[in-house]
Amino acid sequence: MRTKHIITCLLLLTTIWRVDAKDYTIGNKFIQRSFELKEGIFSSKSIRNKQKKEKLITSLNYDFQLRLSKDVDIDSEDTFLTNKDFICDNIVKEDKYTLTAYLKNEEHGLEIEIHYNVSKEDPFIRKYLKIKTTKEITLERIDVDILKNKDIFQPYKERKITSLAPAQWKPGLGQPLYAKKTGLFLGVEFPASYNFVQNTNAYCGYLQGKVLHKNTTYTSYKAVIGSASKDVTLQRAFFAYIDKSGSKPKSIRHTKDRHILIQ
């Protein structure tokens, strides 16, 4: 019996080690995203543009970020939580096109589901979060996706929000980010999203200022990462994605310096 017990324990330890070291991938013939589960932490590893045969490796190992506060009207220090602050309970991969990771943070009473999906014939991958809380918290900002790579840049940086002068309402909302060498575009399917790059970290998210009540679930807007072929510019690939997905804003135009302005 003692020998059998020892063997059972060894098998359990081996299983846990395999889960903690496991890699996951979803994708199609256009685009592929890879993840890893290491020591209970779920994170993104890379995004491959199969059309250009280029791969963007994210060195930050972050996947999302939440900015929480006690109340939007109270001047207090915010709390920042990323996937590294959560333990991954389970990962469900039904097929090569979908993946869901289940995360938990007991200290803050949070459970998060990260949903990824890509269709068979689309050159883009969508992602969204489902946040369940056992405590009342205020979600100030949610970055649905975070990637770190020096190839990612922010083409539109102007943030004018004054209405005192003509044509000065340019808050920089809804703008995509680009990865030039890899041939990728990134953003959130929400006109009021603010996507930016800071210290080679790409943040795709939006301000929320929403109170999440106890035992409720909040579903985020969807983040998207799309790929361009070697014969198509990133702007054209982005416009093709908008046409195909039906996520058309009220107007799309180019500024004088050829940046995209979405209103």
Give the residue-averaged pLDDT of 207-223.
94
102: left (phi over 0), alpha (psi -120 to 50) or beta: beta
Residue 79 is part of a domain; what is its CATH number?
2.70.98.60
Q: Which of 95, 28, 91, 30 is nearest to 229 (CA)?
A: 30
Q: What amino acid is encoded at 253 in this protein?
A: R
Q: Which of 136, 153, 33 is nearest to 93 (CA)?
A: 33
The answer to whether residue 234 is domain-embedded is: yes
The answer to whether residue 38 is domain-embedded is: yes
Q: Which of 234, 178, 183, 197 is nearest to 55 (CA)?
A: 183
User: What are the helix (H) ranges across the chain?
Assistant: 2-20, 234-245
Could you tell me the two tokens for 13? 């330890």
The answer to whether residue 15 is domain-embedded is: no
Q: Which of 236, 189, 180, 239 is nearest to 56 (CA)?
A: 180
Q: Domain limits at 183?
A: 24-262
What local confidence, expressed as pLDDT, does residue 70 receive? Answer: 78
At 94, the pLDDT band (50, 70, 90 cuts) reads confident
What local confidence, expressed as pLDDT, does residue 73 receive? Answer: 60
pTM: 0.81
Which phi and psi (to 5°) does residue 231 adopt? -100, 0
At 171, the pLDDT band (50, 70, 90 cuts) reads low
Note whether 152 and 177 are within 8 A (CB). Answer: yes
Q: What amino acid is encoded at 101 in this protein?
A: A
Does residue 189 have a pLDDT over 60?
Answer: yes
The answer to whether residue 1 is domain-embedded is: no
The answer to whether residue 207 is domain-embedded is: yes
The answer to whether residue 5 is domain-embedded is: no
| Percent of the chain at pLDDT exceeding 70 | 77
**Number of folded domains that form the chain:** 1
What local confidence, expressed as pLDDT, does residue 187 receive? Answer: 96
What local confidence, expressed as pLDDT, does residue 257 receive? Answer: 42
Tell me the per-residue pLDDT of 38-78, one tens digit each, with 9 for 90 and over.
999 999 999 999 999 999 998 767 899 999 987 656 656 89
